[in-house]
């Protein structure tokens, strides 16, 4: 499928996964980014050895994986055509039936497909889309900077959209039987240890922080990033490490999942309906816990960050507050941006440097994993920034979700690439949905 495949090392993958600078990028860079966007996704899906796995529902809140294999490619055709580019439809059924993702509470759940396409048909379709996009780039004038409303803006949106689905698809794959999978040879897991991590708290001084992409034209921005906001943030204390599996184990061992006092009212309802006693990627076997990484099961990595949904994060915060007789909480969006502005990081775990999390104390930054490793749940509800502007190419990307049902996450994870790691990216999820997301504790200065 790829004419210029020199992406066999994880280092090359990292380099080609950084977002394009829309003010200076040339066609060669765009072609390389397009190739990388398709190749990363293909590597992930080619790890699935059993064809039937593409058609089974591993996550009830999402489509089967074959849907996303078509969806991310069809998105290119639909968005380029919507922008007015001279692109013809390839497969009308694909481009109409697989156009929209899934949110069961917004009436855009899994559609009934009368005839499921074969994997051969899907891979052939994706190859055609890729070639059409290459040919279009080679024959279409590129005027810099790339701005909203242009055909190239639609292309940028399509590539960043594909990278979002790389991450969400990986979470579905983590729920498949491991015997269905074979890891790509250059997707390298990080090492782990049984070290019991103990966090310390660092004081972050009061600061006026500005965030939002209002004055930025360097990278592609989604509409929820448009606008800007200034907030005077009071001093606060923040943990230097994300909450590790070993720290969360104390909550599990103390029967935190069974004690309703630690759970919000919504959390209690969710917990009662799901009967869960530990995080989703922990596996209880013979009175011990194993851990499910992307492709394999192995010993629970005590020093990796725990991955939980918002309800579990809040239950842990409440439990920890009770144990330490200290009022902990999650960060606000504004506090996160203060943290990002004050602390320089080295060697973040993102862009598939590893195909897994790493130890929360792997490097010796003042505060580790402000970006990368796992996303961080915030206490902030998803909302539009002042000056928010809808993007006509994708009217329902974010505006239907500006409400208290959705909480924000920031920072990116080990599999986040492209603009998911830009300083403007704002992610949101329903409170019960799992992402590669964890917990960082903060507390007020009294």
Mean model confidence pLDDT for the chain: 92
pLDDT tens per residue, range 69-108? 999 999 999 999 999 999 999 999 999 989 887 665 554 4
Is residue 66 domain-resident?
yes
| In contact, 356 and 414? CB cutoff 8 Å | yes
pLDDT of residue 202: 96
Residue 335 — very low, low, confident or very high, per pLDDT cuts 50/70/90? Answer: very high
pLDDT tens per residue, range 186-205? 899 999 998 888 899 999 99
Specify the CATH number for the domain of residue 58: 1.20.120
| In contact, 64 and 56? CB cutoff 8 Å | yes
Report the range out of 1-10, 56-65, 199-208 with the highest average pLDDT: 199-208
Q: Count of domains in the chain? A: 2
Whether residue 269 is found in the same domain as residue 139: no
pLDDT tens per residue, range 235-255? 999 999 999 999 999 999 999
Compute the average pLDDT of residues 196-221: 91
| pLDDT at residue 372 tops 80 | yes
- 3-state DSSP assignment of residue 65: helix
Write out the residue range of the structural domain in which residue 166 sits: 10-180
pLDDT of residue 107: 47
| In contact, 237 and 445? CB cutoff 8 Å | yes
Is residue 123 domain-resident?
yes
Give the torsion through C-alpha atoms of 347, 351, 352, 357, to 10 deg. Answer: 60
- 119-139 and 65-82 are packed helices; what angle lies between their axes, rounded to 10 degrees? 30
Assigned token pair, 141? 């004038």
Whether residue 321 is found in the same domain as residue 389: yes
Whether residue 206 is found in the same domain as residue 321: yes
Assigned token pair, 227? 């606008």
The stretches of 280-399 forming alpha helices (DSSP H) are 310-324, 333-342
Residue 6 — very low, low, confident or very high, per pLDDT cuts 50/70/90? Answer: very low
Whether residue 160 is found in the same domain as residue 41: yes
Give the torsion through C-alpha atoms of 74, 14, 48, 114, to 10 deg. Answer: -10
């Amino acid at each position: 499928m790829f004419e210029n495949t020199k992406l066999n090392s994880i280092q090359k993958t990292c380099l080609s996964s950084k977002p394009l600078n829309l003010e200076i990028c040339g066609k060669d860079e765009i072609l390389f980014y397009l190739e990388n966007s398709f190749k990363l996704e293909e590597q992930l899906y080619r790890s699935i050895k059993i064809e039937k796995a593409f058609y089974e529902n591993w996550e009830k809140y999402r489509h089967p994986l074959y849907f996303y294999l078509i969806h991310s490619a069809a998105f290119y055709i639909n968005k380029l055509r919507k922008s007015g580019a001279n692109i013809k439809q390839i497969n009308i059924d694909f481009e109409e039936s697989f156009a929209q993702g899934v949110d069961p509470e917004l009436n855009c759940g899994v559609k009934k497909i009368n005839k499921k396409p074969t994997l051969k048909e899907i891979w052939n379709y994706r190859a055609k889309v890729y070639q059409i996009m290459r040919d279009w780039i080679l024959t279409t004038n590129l005027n810099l900077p790339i701005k909203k409303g242009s055909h190239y803006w639609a292309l940028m949106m399509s590539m960043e959209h594909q990278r979002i689905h790389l991450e969400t698809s990986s979470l579905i794959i983590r729920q498949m039987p491991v015997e269905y999978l074979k890891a790509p040879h250059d997707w390298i897991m990080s090492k782990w240890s049984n070290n019991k991590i103990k966090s310390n708290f660092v004081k972050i001084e009061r600061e006026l922080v500005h965030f939002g992409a209002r004055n930025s034209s360097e990278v592609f921005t989604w509409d929820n990033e448009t606008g800007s906001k200034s907030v005077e943030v009071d001093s606060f204390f923040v943990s230097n490490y994300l909450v590790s599996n070993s720290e969360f184990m104390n909550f599990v061992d103390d029967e935190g999942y069974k004690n309703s006092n630690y759970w919000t009212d919504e959390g209690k309802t969710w917990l009662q309906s799901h009967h869960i006693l530990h995080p989703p990627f922990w596996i209880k076997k013979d009175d011990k816990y194993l851990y499910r990484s992307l492709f394999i099961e192995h010993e629970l990595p005590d020093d990796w960050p725990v991955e939980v949904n918002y309800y579990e994060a809040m239950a842990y915060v409440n439990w920890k507050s009770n144990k330490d007789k200290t009022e902990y909480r999650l960060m606000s969006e504004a506090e996160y941006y203060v943290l990002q502005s004050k602390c320089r990081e080295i060697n973040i775990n993102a862009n598939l440097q590893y195909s897994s999390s790493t130890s929360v104390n792997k490097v010796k930054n003042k505060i580790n994993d402000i970006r990368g490793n796992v996303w961080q749940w915030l206490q902030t509800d998803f909302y539009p920034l002042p000056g928010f502007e809808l993007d006509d190419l994708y009217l329902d990307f974010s505006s239907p979700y500006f409400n208290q049902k959705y909480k924000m996450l920031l920072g990116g994870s080990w599999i986040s690439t492209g603009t998911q790691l830009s300083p403007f990216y704002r992610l949101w999820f329903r409170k019960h949905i799992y992402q590669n997301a964890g917990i960082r504790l903060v507390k007020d200065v009294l």
